[in-house]
Amino acid sequence: MKMLENITRTFKGLLLNPAEEMKRLREEPLEEAFVYFLVLSAVFVVLTAVASVIITALTIHAPSVFLIVYLVGYIIGGYIGCFIGLIIGSVLLHVFVYCLGGRKGIEATMKAAIYSFTPIALIGWIPVVGIIGSIWSLVLEAVAIRDLHDISTARAAIAVILTLLFVLAALFLIVVFVVIVVFMLAHTSDIAVNESFMWTM
């Protein structure tokens, strides 16, 4: 019961008065923040999965078995993805935070990443509206980095923006690489088919 009260208090505080709440959470152990993330990410993944299944069901006439398997797979994959994203995102963010003067350790950075997930968990699962949650999350992350690492707002914001740009650039390069590979495979396949056709002639 106390755990639920703490989670609710943190959730409301981060949404309504993030600066004051961050001061209260400054000394909170990483383990407590991790429990908060466990609950928050579970709620987010389930809501996202349900929304995705509803959209899929309305878009295509899929059998019930497919939708159930899709729902379960989405929840499992999404939950794992949240933790992988937390770890990778925290490490990347900490690199930029450290370069900009943050010296409170990676635990502080990970706590900032966890707490900034709150707006996404609230509305990030809603199509289109989720964009607002993402922007809100970035702002909250900058506030968290500022307060937990004792650096200026400008430096905290720069660290968050640089991390975002790095991730976007990495995703862009991955997409370009995949497109090139697919194009090369398709081109190679066409050559093989043409050669086979020539041999049959």
Quick check: is 159 in a domain? yes
Number of domains in the chain: 1
According to the model, what pLDDT value does residue 195 have? 56
Cα dihedral sign, 45-51-55-60:
positive
Q: How many helices (H) and strands (E) does the chain have?
A: 8, 0
Quick check: is 168 in a domain? no
Quick check: is 173 in a domain? no
pTM, to two decimals: 0.85
Out of 12-16, 43-47, 128-132, 197-201, pick the least confident: 197-201
How does residue 60 score in pLDDT terms, banded at 50, 70 and 90? Answer: confident
Out of 149-153, 157-161, 179-183, pick the least confident: 179-183
Quick check: is 171 in a domain? no
Quick check: is 83 in a domain? yes
Quick check: is 82 in a domain? yes
According to the model, what pLDDT value does residue 194 have? 57
Quick check: is 193 in a domain? no
Flag whether pLDDT at 23 surpasses 70. Answer: yes
Identify which of 86, 54, 80, 82 has the alpha carbon closest to the alpha carbon of residue 67: 54
25 lies in which domain range? 2-163
According to the model, what pLDDT value does residue 201 have? 56
DSSP string, 106-155: HHHHHHHHHHTTHHHHHHTTSTTTHHHHHHHHHHHHHHHHHHHHT--HHH
Quick check: is 181 in a domain? no
According to the model, what pLDDT value does residue 200 have? 57
Out of 31-35, 39-43, 122-126, pick the least confident: 122-126
Flag whether pLDDT at 132 surpasses 60. Answer: yes
